[in-house]
Amino acid sequence: MSAAEKNAPPVALITGAAGGLGRALVAAFLEAGYRVAAGWHERPFPDDGPGNGGENLRAVRLDVTDPVSVARAVAEVEAAWDGVTALVNNAGILRDAPLWRMSVADWDAVLAVHLRGIFHCVRAVAPGMQRRGGGHIINVGSHVGLQGARGQANYAAAKAGVAGLTQSLAREWGAADIRVNAVLPGVLPTALTAGRSAAQQAAWRRANALGRTGEVAEVARFVAFLAGLRHVSGQVFALDSRPLRPW
């Protein structure tokens, strides 16, 4: 690594950047001094098209389910900014239904985004991190992956896989100084929860010891802070006030 590369600002690649949490993550990493590659798929980031923002923000089209798209996006970021320092696997979808009514397509779609998408992204960025002496991979998980939820068997299976994948990758890449952690954001006011009933929202609040759900900006700040830690890997961080129960 050249002296110029060592002195350059770190680079964060954030998937699912056009969503509610994604936008907050972009803002938090920019505030923390990163150059940010905002990965978007169906909805551009910003809404009026890629390429807007200051010199430290670059929108890249990225379909996490497509290894060719992932490789192309990572190559674009590496060509522009010499590599990815932090990868935040944030892309997500929901296809909820009781298992007996869930289609194979909806099962596959959720696992493709939440689990196989991380596989593709990590495989694309890890070699570059290794060449440059390390990096940090942060995977967005969910309490549902630890405790399950009615009507979300696909999502629960995917997020349980994220926790196991995180800890496996931490062991595999630790010798290369690549840290791998997961965060469980809790219930946030984003498009994924906006359609839930008042009764469901109240149930979520009751499940929290503080009697309230979280804030997108607070979660994003934590992720940006975590990305800068050098001695933490293989951990799963719960970011609300529900007592965390292991499997």
Residues with active-site annotation: 155
Nearest to 156 by CA among 170, 167, 146: 146
Calculated CA dihedral for residues 66, 70, 76, 78, nearest 10 degrees: -160
State which amino acid sits at residue 79: A
Nearest to 134 by CA among 90, 170, 107: 170
What phi and psi, each to the nearest 5 degrees, are found at residue 99? -55, -35
Spatial separation of the C-alpha atoms in residues 28 and 47, rounded to whole Å: 19
DSSP E strands in the chain: the ranges are: 11-14, 35-40, 57-61, 86-89, 135-140, 178-184, 236-238
Spatial separation of the C-alpha atoms in residues 67 and 73, rounded to whole Å: 10
Spatial separation of the C-alpha atoms in residues 74 and 128, rounded to whole Å: 10
Number of H helices, E strands in the chain: 9, 7
User: Which tokens belong to 90?
Assistant: 């944030």
DSSP 189: S
Q: How far apart are the first and last CA of the chain?
A: 42
Q: Is the dihedral of CA 38, 40, 43, 44 positive or negative?
A: positive
